[in-house]
Structure 1
Amino acid sequence: MEKGIIFDIEHGSFVNGPGIRTAVYMKGCNLRCLWCHNPESRQQSPQLMFYAEKCTGCGKCLEACENRQKDCVQCGKCAEVCPHDARVLCGRAYTVSEVLEEIEKDMPFYQFSGGGATFSGGECLLQPEFLYALLQGCGARGISTAVDTAGCVSWNVIEKILPLTDLFLYDVKCFSASVHKRYTGADNRLILSNLKKLLQLKKRVWIRIPVIGGVNDSVEEMRKIRDFLRDSGGAERVELLPYHDMGRNKCNALGIDFHPFSVPEEDKLRELQAVFSPE
């Protein structure tokens, strides 16, 4: 039975495609965006998060830990007994049936809102067989599907799910290859190549651009992205997502560095969004 690692299933989402949706967040990502607001998604295996500000020092976690927290094996027993959610095990294995059961709970909302299921992450395409099985299951139930991806995977992986995916939510961080590598840890040539293929195949694609102060918040950068999209056949929609620091507490809980950026002003966002307006 196919299984995958998921760190969250969000019901009633309005920000992951059209209508009311169920968003399934899979663990594992091959980018290291410095502004990431879901740093717990990077590692594919389950991992323990510790929120020190919630800890009262009751000692229940120590009592539950077989190794007395000296050599943590990420078993999650401490999280099970913590009365204040100071310790949280992020991610667990789900079967396809378990996920589809969760998705089916929202079917009445899909029908009147034009919604469906969105598979995100992390990078959901790093669990390709699990994702394929979920998309098949949704199709068999008449549930519309969306795949939220950064596109940094082999085209063969994307090609396999094309017949099962109604909409791609495609993240474009930067157009400049050097800037992209500096802030995400990876080159963007594969990402843009895959995007171009999707657009040329006339697939439904919504572009999502995180606007990060001091990184990609210039009209020049947006024009480069706009021109690339037009030359490739055009996307159905372009969304600008302003930077926020919701990843700060999660980084602290994971014991990793948090990199703050400036939040773009409303006037700046309007100026950038205007770049993509029809002429």
Structure 2
Amino acid sequence: MTTGIIFNIQRYSIHDGPGIRTTVFLKGCPLSCWWCQNPESQLSEQEMIFWGDRCIGCGACSTICLSDAIQIKNGIPVTEKEKCILCGKCIEKCPALAREMIGEKLTIEEVIKEIEKDLVFYEESGGGVTFSGGEPLGQSEFLGGLLNGCREKKIHTAVDTSGYISWEILNKISPKVDLFLYDLKIMDSKKHHKYTGVSNEIILENLKNLSSVHHNILVRFPVIPGLNDDDQNIKETGEFLSSLKIAQVNLFPYHYIGIDKYRRLGRTYKLATTPPPSEEKLSEISGILKKFNLNVKLRG
């Protein structure tokens, strides 16, 4: 029985494709974008998140820990991640619900059952299911089974991808997908590597190939001030996309809603002082891209 790791199922989504949608978030991503709003999506395995503002300092988690990974320091439980075996005993014991396991192993059938709960919304709004992440194609066998299940029930499907995957996997999955939401961030390969952890050659080549076999692709462009909103990058993006068969380009303004998650996961957020782009800047970028005869929409 094929299983995968899901870290969230979000209902009533309206920015992840047409109509009212259910967005299923698969865990694991080969990129580590500085602006990622879902840092809990990056690791492919389960992980623990600690809600310090809920903690009452009772020490129950420390006493129950099977691997002696939790120590009480100044009244606050501190977890040594290298010792933690993710047994979940501390979660069960915590009376304040200050600990949470991110990521749940589910079967294809279990996920499809959750998706079916929203069938009435899909039918009334022309919506469906979007598989996001992380990088959903990183769990390609699991994703393929989910797409097959949706197709059997005539549910519209969308896949939100970074494009950083082998063409063999992407090409195999593409006939099962009604709509691709394809992320395109930075054209310069060195800058792309600096801010995402990987170069962009595979991403660009895959988008070229995908656009030749699949004609329902929305490109998602996150606008991050100081990183990718310069005229050169916008013009190079427009020139590249104008040579492909792309249905639409959606501009998504940067925000730092997910910054608190980094603290709870014990990670550093690198763009804490970066402000969201202004409406004027978004309008300017939209204008440049439209000069390349692209269909541009703000936020999607």
One fold, TM greater than 0.5? yes
* Aligned-partner residue type, residue 257 of structure 2: M
Residue number in structure 2 paired with 1:236? 247
Instruction: Tell me by how many angstroms 1:202 deviates.
Output: 4.1
Residue number in structure 1 paired with 2:76? none
Task: Give identity over the alignment, percent.
Answer: 45
In 1, Cα distance between equivalents of 2:147 and 2:281: 38
Match of 1:263 among 251, 276, 280: 276
Residue number in structure 2 paired with 1:185? 197
Deviating more after overlay: 75-84 vs 135-144:
75-84
* Aligned-partner residue type, residue 41 of structure 2: S
Residue number in structure 2 paired with 1:12? 12
Instruction: Tell me by how many angstroms 1:135 deviates.
Output: 0.3
Instruction: Tell me by how many angstroms 1:81 deviates.
Output: 3.5
In the alignment, structure 1 residue 248 sits paired with structure 2 residue 282: no
Match of 2:84 among 57, 62, 72: 72
Maintained 8 Å contact 1:219/1:271? no
Unaligned runs of 5+ in 1: none
In 2, Cα distance between equivalents of 1:262 and 1:176: 22
SS in 1 for 2:53: helix
Residue number in structure 2 paired with 1:57? 57
Maintained 8 Å contact 1:51/1:252? no
Maintained 8 Å contact 2:189/2:200? yes
Structure 1 residue runs of 4+, over 4 Å off?
none
Instruction: Provide Cα deviations, 1:66-85, integer angstroms capped at 9, x if missing partner.
Output: 23435311122222333333
In 1, Cα distance between equivalents of 2:95 and 2:23: 28
Residue number in structure 1 paired with 2:296? none
Maintained 8 Å contact 1:214/1:262? no
Matches of residues 77-96 of structure 1 in structure 2 within 5 Å? 77-96=89-108
* Aligned-partner residue type, residue 184 of structure 1: T
Instruction: Tell me by how many angstroms 1:63 deviates.
Output: 4.0
Residue number in structure 2 paired with 1:198? 210
In the alignment, structure 1 residue 40 sits paired with structure 2 residue 37: no
In 1, Cα distance between equivalents of 2:173 and 2:179: 11
Q: Provide the aligned length of Structure 1 versus Structure 2.
A: 278
Instruction: Provide Cα deviations, 1:106-163, integer angstroms capped at 9, x if missing partner.
Output: 1111011111111010000000100000000000010010000000000011111111
In 2, Cα distance between equivalents of 1:45 and 1:30: 13
Instruction: Tell me by how many angstroms 1:214 deviates.
Output: 0.5
What is the root-mean-square deviation in Å for CA atoms of aligned residues?
1.4
Instruction: Tell me by how many angstroms 1:257 deviates.
Output: 1.2
In 1, Cα distance between equivalents of 2:241 and 2:250: 13
Residue number in structure 2 paired with 1:210? 222
In 2, Cα distance between equivalents of 1:9 and 1:249: 20
In 2, Cα distance between equivalents of 1:117 and 1:64: 40
Distance 1:123 1:208, change over 3 A: same
SS in 1 for 2:40: helix
In 1, Cα distance between equivalents of 2:18 and 2:197: 31
Instruction: Provide Cα deviations, 1:3-46, integer angstroms capped at 9, x if missing partner.
Output: 00010001111111110111000110001111111111111110
* Aligned-partner residue type, residue 244 of structure 1: H
